[in-house]
């Protein structure tokens, strides 16, 4: 996403933060819970995401965001889902919460070749990256 779209925010609930941090290790990223934001990939928690905007956002485990207290709930999930200006991805292992599973325009990727599947959703007449 960073190569195709621009700045990326990866929003994770507290219960998944260590796991997501470890998964991001192979790529260069800024841990915005501990350091300044970068122009590329940023790991964010529910405290940090408020008021920020990114070209793309990856929301990790929306069910855990809904369950997290005191910073979770519907308001926190809404905030996480509305921080992107160009692309949004939701990563989950369990079923999506009902409030998301019925959303219009939602496309599911099956995990095989996610880069190619995600790229196929791009509209040629509206490129994601201005050159």
Instruction: Per-residue pLDDT tens, the chain, 131 aa: give them.
Output: 788 889 999 999 999 999 999 999 999 999 999 999 999 999 999 999 999 999 999 999 999 999 998 889 999 999 999 999 998 999 998 888 888 888 887 777 777 787 777 777 765 444 443 33
CA distance 8 to 18: 18
Q: Which residues pair with 59 in a beta bridge?
A: 11, 90
Beta strands in 1-131 (DSSP E): 8-11, 30-31, 41-44, 54-60, 84-91
Interior angle at CA 108, CA 103 and CA 114, nearest 5: 140
For the record, the structure tokens of 48 come out as 């940090």
Give the pLDDT confidence score for residue 126 in this predicted structure.
42
Give the pLDDT confidence score for residue 46 in this predicted structure.
95
Give the pLDDT confidence score for residue 60 in this predicted structure.
97
CA distance 41 to 109: 21
């Amino acid at each position: 996403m960073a190569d195709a779209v621009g700045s990326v925010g990866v929003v994770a609930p507290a219960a998944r933060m260590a796991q997501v941090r470890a998964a991001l290790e192979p790529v260069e990223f800024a841990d915005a819970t501990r350091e300044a934001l970068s122009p590329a990939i940023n790991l964010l928690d529910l405290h940090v995401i408020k008021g920020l905007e990114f070209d793309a956002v990856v929301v990790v485990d929306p069910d855990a965001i809904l369950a997290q207290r005191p910073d979770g709930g519907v308001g926190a999930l809404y905030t996480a889902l509305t921080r992107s200006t160009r692309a949004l991805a939701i990563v989950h292992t369990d079923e999506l919460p009902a409030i998301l599973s019925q959303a219009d325009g939602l496309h599911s990727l099956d995990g095989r070749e996610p880069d190619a599947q995600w790229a196929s959703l791009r509209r040629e007449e509206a490129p994601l990256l201005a050159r």
